[in-house]
Amino acid sequence: MNADVRIEAVRDKDVALLLRLVNALADYERLSGEVFATEAMLRDALFGPRPSAEAVLAWVGPDAVGFAVWFYNYSTFVGRPGLYLEDIFVLPEWRGRGVGRALLRHLARIAVARGCGRMEWAVLDWNEPAIRFYRSLGAQAMDGWTVYRLTGDALKRLGGD
């Protein structure tokens, strides 16, 4: 691991920087049109009266070069919470230098310290570099599972009166 990588919790003053990195992730994933988050929304999610996520930044010197955002889920089978990694991203020019490993190691330590039974995340099928990296860490694909999502009008219809 690169000894120069520092992992620090996102602070209120870092929210604009985090949003820029989220947009860089969306660009990389070819999903730029899918980002609706604002600084105010991120600030509320991270620091509001009922925080729903946590986030860290990876720093090398004065530069933020990556981030991770996570929240907790619960496994009825395991009987313990799990850490769900919503997003992890390292700027392309910083990949292969230990930044991603430092971020995941930091999260694994949090998961262990907080009694989580597992750590999970999703990866796009076409993202072979990320898949190889995750496998090199010992992560396993959950074959046989398909993610479903309700959003927008479908969510409103189901949740409506």
Q: Show which residues are catalytic.
A: 134
d(CA 20, CA 42): 12
Nearest to 124 by CA among 97, 147, 92, 104: 147
Amino acid letter for position 28: Y
d(CA 111, CA 68): 14
Measure CA of the first residue to CA of the last residue in the chain; give whole Å: 53
